[in-house]
C-alpha cells in the first residue's frame, strides 16, 4: 500500500519561487485531526499539551492557506472560481473553530474544506 507519492512540480510560476502546494496546509490539519482523535485516551498532562499543539498547528493551517490565497491565485483563477475567496475565508475560519472545540468532526470538516481548495488548485495547474 502506497500512502503518498510525490510527483514533480513544474515551474509554472512567478518570481521569485512559484512553488505552492495545498499539502502544506493539509499535513498540519491532519495533525490536528489525529490529536483530536487521540485526545480522550491521553493523560491530563498530554491533554494539556494537545490543546497547546492544536493551537499551533491550526495557526500553521491558516498561514499556509493565506499564503496560497494571496500569493498563488490570480484574477483569472477568480473568474473561473468566483467562490474562491469565500472558500478560503470559511476554511481559515474553520481552522479557528478547531481551537475552540476538541471535536474530530470539526477537524474533519477543515480537511474537507482544504481538499476542496486543493481540487481547485490542481485544476488551475492543468491549464
Contact positions vs a second copy (CB under 8 A) = 1-11, 13, 15-19, 21-24, 26-27, 30-31, 34-35, 37-38, 42, 45-46, 48-53, 55, 57, 62, 66, 69-71, 85-86, 89, 92-93, 96, 99-102, 115, 118, 122, 125-126
Q: How far is the CB of 80 from a second copy (least distance, A)?
A: 15
Q: From CA 93, how far away is CA 110, in angstroms rounded?
A: 9
Q: How far is the CB of 115 from a second copy (least distance, A)?
A: 8
Q: From CA 29, how far away is CA 125, in angstroms rounded?
A: 23
Q: Cis bond leading into 16, ω under 30°?
A: yes
Contact 72/20 with Cβ under 8 angstroms? yes
Q: How far is the CB of 25 from a second copy (least distance, A)?
A: 11
**In angstroms, what CA-CA distances link 94 with 61, 89, 97?**
10, 9, 5
Choose between 99 and 109: whose C-beta lies nearer to a second copy.
99
Residue at grid coordinates 495545498: 22
Q: How far is the CB of 105 from a second copy (least distance, A)?
A: 15
Amino acid at each position: 500500500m502506497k500512502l503518498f507519492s510525490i510527483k514533480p512540480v513544474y515551474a509554472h510560476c512567478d518570481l521569485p519561487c512559484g512553488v505552492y502546494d495545498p499539502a502544506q496546509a493539509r499535513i498540519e490539519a491532519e495533525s490536528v485531526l489525529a490529536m483530536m482523535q487521540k485526545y480522550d485516551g491521553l493523560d491530563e498532562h498530554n491533554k494539556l499539551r494537545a490543546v497547546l499543539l492544536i493551537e499551533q498547528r491550526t495557526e500553521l493551517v491558516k498561514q499556509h492557506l493565506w499564503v496560497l490565497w494571496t500569493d498563488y491565485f490570480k484574477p483569472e483563477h477568480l473568474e473561473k472560481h468566483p467562490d474562491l475567496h469565500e472558500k478560503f475565508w470559511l476554511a481559515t475560519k474553520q481552522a479557528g473553530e478547531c481551537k475552540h472545540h476538541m471535536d474530530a468532526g470539526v477537524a474533519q470538516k477543515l480537511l474537507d474544506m482544504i481538499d476542496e481548495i486543493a481540487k481547485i488548485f490542481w485544476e488551475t495547474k492543468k491549464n
